[in-house]
């Protein structure tokens, strides 16, 4: 009679251990098949080419892409640009180059000349500058800017925009605040906004397809002019979930991330926000969808009327991006809420 050698037994044990581990990993994979049904039910208004990617603790748990539009292909993100711009500004706050409570007239003197020198960078990022919003009360993110430079746009804001509220008293979701902040960065760096974004945010986050560059040579649009892939935007969201760290390197300080996600003016009334964000509070560049009983934000998003919808959830450590290749004709908040419900269901 022959007996297995210890070496053979060890091999068998290793194989069995691997199989048990593999089985456990498969069993642990969350069942998000309900999301496929939601995508199919909404296919008519979502269009042919779109991407939905969801990660939990840095691991992809759901990915839906089409043959002609893949995870690493860029598309316009519309108003979802604001989250990127707000974070970019906070990098300069981290570096001590600017302060959130600096008056913008310190960098753009024409605002002081036209009695708008009281606006601060904090007001800009929280969209509480107190100036009249765009025509028709809504930013039309699918339209091209008519300005050749951000400096030219600031001249228009200073000379033509009416003062309708005291700063910090009312929120109006528009292009004014973020674009003022973008121009401040141009002044202190002597570079164009799109180049600043490349050097300080996109390269550190390995957002290789991302850009604020306007292909028609017009002014970059900090509030609605970014283009990036869903893969790139997920890198940005991962950095926020990890308190400013990405691939072992600090992009933002933990304090800067906390400030970015804080409701700066909780008592401000909302003068205008899109239907997509009704009932939400605002931080800097993003909306606070849910909060704890102590008021600490738990889930944040920066949905755009064009259809892009990035979000992070600190409760279950998840992040996701829905990105259509082309701006949607209509947007449907119920669609996004259904996706979130499916993700929460498998994490509870």
Q: What is the pLDDT of residues 42-55, one digit of tens each?
A: 998 898 999 999 99
Q: Which pLDDT does position 27 carry in this prediction?
A: 37
Burial bucket for residue 189 (CB in 10 Å: 0-12, 13-18, 19+): middle
CA dihedral sign of residues 214, 220, 226, 232 = positive
pLDDT digits over 138-162, tens only?
344 445 678 999 999 999 999 999 9
Global pTM value: 0.90
Per-residue buried b or exposed e for 133-165, using 16+ beta carbons within 10 Å of the residue's own CB: bbeeeebebeeebebebbeebbeebbeebeeeb
The parts of the chain modelled with pLDDT lower than 70 are 1-29, 134-144
End-to-end CA distance of the chain: 54
Buried b (16+ CB within 10 A) or exposed e, 56-90: beeeebbeebeeebebebbbbbbbbbbbbbbbbbb
Could you tell me the fold of the domain covering 32-347? Answer: Beta-lactamase (3.40.710)
Candidates 324, 249, 244, 314; CA nearest to 56 is: 314
Contact (CB, 8 A) for 154 and 110:
yes
Element (H, E) at 46: helix 43-46
CA distances from 253 to 54, 93, 181, 259, 286 (A): 25, 10, 20, 10, 18
Region of residue 136 (left: phi > 0; alpha: psi -120 to 50; beta: else): left
* Domain ranges for the chain: 32-347
């Amino acid at each position: 009679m022959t007996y297995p050698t210890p070496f053979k037994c060890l091999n068998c044990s290793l194989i069995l251990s691997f199989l048990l581990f593999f089985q456990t990993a498969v069993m642990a994979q969350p069942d998000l098949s309900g999301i496929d049904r939601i995508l199919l039910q909404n296919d008519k208004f979502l269009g042919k080419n779109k991407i939905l990617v969801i990660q939990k603790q840095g691991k992809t748990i759901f990915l839906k892409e089409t043959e002609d539009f893949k995870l690493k292909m860029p598309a316009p993100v519309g108003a979802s640009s604001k989250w990127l711009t707000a974070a970019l500004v906070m990098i300069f706050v981290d570096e001590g180059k600017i302060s959130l409570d600096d008056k913008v007239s310190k960098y753009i003197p024409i605002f002081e000349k036209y009695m708008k020198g009281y606006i601060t960078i904090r007001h800009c990022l929280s969209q509480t500058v107190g100036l009249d919003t765009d025509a028709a009360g809504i930013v039309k993110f699918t339209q091209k800017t008519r300005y050749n430079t951000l400096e030219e746009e600031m001249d228009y804001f200073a000379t033509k925009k009416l003062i309708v509220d005291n700063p910090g008293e009312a929120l109006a979701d528009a292009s004014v605040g973020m674009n003022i902040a973008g121009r401040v960065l141009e002044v202190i760096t002597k570079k164009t906004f799109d180049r600043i974004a490349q050097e300080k945010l996109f390269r550190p986050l390995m957002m290789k397809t991302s850009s604020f560059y306007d292909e028609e040579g017009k002014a970059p649009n900090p509030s609605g002019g970014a283009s990036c892939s869903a893969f790139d935007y997920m890198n940005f969201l991962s950095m926020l979930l990890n308190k400013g760290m990405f691939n072992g390197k600090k992009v933002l300080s933990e304090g800067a991330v906390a400030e970015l996600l804080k409701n700066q003016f909780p008592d401000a009334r909302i003068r205008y926000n899109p239907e997509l964000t009704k009932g939400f509070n605002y931080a800097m560049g993003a909306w606070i969808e849910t909060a704890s009983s102590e008021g600490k934000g738990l889930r944040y998003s920066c949905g755009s009327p064009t259809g892009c919808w990035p979000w992070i959830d600190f409760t279950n450590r998840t992040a996701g991006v829905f990105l259509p290749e082309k701006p949607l004709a209509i947007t449907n908040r119920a669609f996004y809420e259904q996706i979130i419900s499916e993700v929460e269901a498998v994490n509870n």
